Structure 1
Amino acid sequence: MIVNQLSNTQTSPAKLFAEISTAYIEILAGVRRPEQLSRWLSDKAYYDISQRSMRRARQQALVGPGTRPTIILRQSKIFPTDKGAFQGVVLLEISSVLRAVSVRAEMVHGRFRITEIVLISSSS
């Protein structure tokens, strides 16, 4: 599912950001393991996602497993920030609720490495 090579996304990583964001939501929902994204994540980002995944697993052990969320990609926008770095926002409809995922990636040895990924939640 994740883009094999970045030759197609070298100039515009919007598709990569969308796929990574979808996988991130599945990790938070407990239907995917964080190891499946490890090659795309920086050490800090991987650690953060692993910790969230473990907390979610503990919660599921107490209340029971949840259902697999329905995820629909609405839009993916990217913005260049530094040389070889991009910030992006991916709008996903997650089980009929519109959410945004903020993603930051830097070019490391010819590949994008996700350095930060955050699900933006509403205050309500």
Structure 2
Amino acid sequence: MPARPAVRLDVRDSASFIDHDEFFGRQTASRSDLPDPEAMLQSLTHCVVEVMAGARDLEQLARWVTDDVYRTLSKRVVLANRARRIKGLSPQRPTFRVGRVVVTEPADGIVEAVVLVHQPHRVRSVAIRLEGLDQRWRASAIAVL
């Protein structure tokens, strides 16, 4: 009996191939599936200002931000802590109020906003980009100006 040639099947050639990252990775959400972003923007801004002042732990923001934003904020927190230590200052809860929120929606499921932060001697702004991921808002960019 003659030997049969070995048949090699490559799963990637199959029409039923599923990209695992697409199937199991983060899923984008439509704006209609997401809550109003303004409350999230105000809360996130409040927390970011307190984290930068050393009055709040950065871990508390982990579920609201992407990994890249978390790493960036972590570096800024280390620098702020180092500057306070050099000046001999201790972390204190900052005095401020969250002011006007200006929101734009450049694409479905994406919100870009500027939030004003009123402090006793100046006004700062926090720029935030939210993306709808896994049926909730997550900050994919934050800049404290």
Provide the TM-score with structure 1 as the length reference. 0.83
Supply the RMSD in Å over aligned alpha carbons. Answer: 1.3
Larger relative contact order, structure 1 or 2 (CA cutoff 8 Å, min sep 6)? 2
Q: Which amino acid aligns with 1:98?
A: V
Which runs of at least 4 in structure 1 moved beyond 2 Å after TM superposition? Answer: none
Question: How many aligned positions are there?
Answer: 111
Counterpart selection for 1:42 from 55, 66, 87: 66
Work out the percentage of aligned pairs sharing the same amino acid: 26
Question: Aligned partners of 1:48, 1:90: CA distance in 2, in Å?
Answer: 19
1:52-108 deviation digits (Å, cap 9, x = unpaired):
111111222222215421111221121111110100111110233111110001000
What is the rounded CA distance, in whole Å, between the counterparts of 2:61 and 2:49 in structure 1? 12
Q: Rg: which structure is higher? A: 2
Q: In structure 2, which of residues 88, 110, 121 is the aligned counterpart of residue 96 of structure 1?
A: 121
Tell me if 1:24 matches 2:54: no
Asked if 1 retains the 8 angstrom alpha-carbon contact of 2:55 and 2:91, the reply is no
Structure 1, unmatched stretches of 5+, are 1-9
Q: C-alpha displacement at 1:11, in angstroms?
A: 4.5
Q: TM-score scaled to structure 2, two decimals?
A: 0.71
* Structure 1 residue corresponding to 2:136, chosen from 111, 115, 122: 111
Which has more strand, going by share of residues?
Answer: 1
